[in-house]
Structure 1
Amino acid sequence: MGLLDNKRIVVTGAGRGLGRAYAMAMAAEGAKVVVNDVDAAEAEKVVGEIAERGGKAIPNADSVADWRGAGRLIAQCVEAFGGIDCLVNNAGIHHNLPIWQETTESLDQMLAVNVRGTFNPTRHALDHMMPQRHGCIINVTSGSQSGILSQSVYGASKGAVASFTYNWAMELAAYNIRVNAISPMAATRMADNSRAKGFASPTFPQWPPEHVAPIAVFLASDDAANVTGQIVRLEGDTLSLLSHPKMIAPAVFPGGWTVADIRKHFHSTLGQRLEPVGLRAKTYQYYDGLTQQKS
């Protein structure tokens, strides 16, 4: 008996890297998997590997950035397997550019795949999950949503996916549909590209995509029936949750705040709790330099 026996699962961007690892691991646990990738040859290769290991899978080469393509993807799962139980929104693109080198074209391209490519298949899947009153959606975010140099557009797209996760979990709870996200750290083409361009330490520990796959299997399983609205990060041997955005260090001033009040009290109240900027950066590391120059 597998943990995902007979569950019908769509994995997007599953021709390589993390998506391939998710699809392979889920099929190994008994799931029937639709392996989606715009590179049809890679999708078919993964399907062949799954079949060689005794699993069941079919390929799909539609683009999830396209509304109709995403619809065909979900329809294929329903037609082939009789329904859909889980959707893994893994498909994504990535580049390293500082904001002054970004363009509206590069922004639109990133949002089309990473944001619309998460929304489109989810919206189509819900046409089936909501009437059956059960389902599971697993999104894929990134630590870059917390701030990484030269990843502002990529990070913004993944921040949108995180917000999707929180909101959809609330909206879909009444339909018994769980929504969570994975924030993975693994050796992929994206990570290699960042390392080659100097945006990641060459000595930073690298774990294969297969190392992250177990959390996807768990979140898709009935063992996670009470888990929703969470972002789970798996980095090396550390499993953690990412905190939700929330208010901190509230300061109350009777009658409301004037500019003079804020000038007088900001540094002694909120100024004592300034948040670190970036995933691993020191608190306001550049601001400290500016204050030294000013003095």
Structure 2
Amino acid sequence: MAKAVRVHGVGGPEVMAYEDVTVGDPGAGEVRLKQDFVGLNYIDTYHRTGAYPMPTPFTIGLEAAGIVDAVGDGVDAFKPGDRVAYAAPPIGAYASERLIPWHRLIKLPDSISTEKAAGMMLQGMTVEYLLRRTYPVKKGDTVLFQAAAGGVGLIACQWLKQIGATVIGTVGSEEKAEQAKAHGCDHIIYYNKEDVAKKVREITDGAGVPVVYDGVGKSTLDGSLDSLKPRGLFVSFGAASGPIENFNLGVLSAKGSLFMTRPTLMTYTASREDLVESATALFDAVGKGLKIEINQRYALADAVQAHKDLEARKTTGSTIFVV
């Protein structure tokens, strides 16, 4: 019998239950996967809490890697035995087996292990679209990355160094500062005891930065905006501290005709073409030396504890479930 982590009502981690599920045969255009590893991502908490509403009950999760077990009619791109990964809807990744549309899957190259793939696809493709398409970072740019020691942050620091950018990163502890530095962060700011914008101005000789990448949200908004140079871009791609609400657009004009965007990976990989291009760019970056740090591993049955640790900011780098 297959196993899955199901959410029966929105709320804290305790609303998740590890239980038996039935997985049928794949229909037309579908693939049945036997999953070896599942990725844990902050977006999972948004689905669990109802911040991103889902009809209950549902199987949580958007990222996993495993082996194709069977294919439905019309599926020519994959065959049983192929190693694949994904980081996209439909939701349902926290499972030992599942059905998924073939066009959401990416075939893994020999150079990428199944375990590594489960810890890199969602965060890595997020970094890809942020740095290459939302604001195309150029060699010589100086950027601010909020929460530089998180899963997305550690990948972003490395990718930014591959581009040739200077990275200013915020962290909350000495341990996380060391991790960010080891992955290419040039300047560290402790967001819990330093004035972020003031430090950014000091580092940039008063100029500010052209772009801020912010996955924290409510608590870092002011510091992020005040770190931008005129006509700079504020990229809000997450809300770990809570969503930004009731924002007065006049603030953008007062602070220098700033731009603001709230992009999502789902939009940037909605088409098959964009999904494949994003994954290919990620694989290329890994081939050039970008390291994926899987710093936490949990059994899938321990999803409740994993969510508690994630929300308490006890995790760094990537986290996976071992199925």
Fold conserved (TM > 0.5)? no
Q: Which structure has greater strand proportion?
A: 2
Q: Going by fraction, where is helix more abundant, 1 or 2?
A: 1
Q: Normalized against structure 2, the TM-score is what?
A: 0.36
**Of the two, which has the highest radius of gyration?**
1
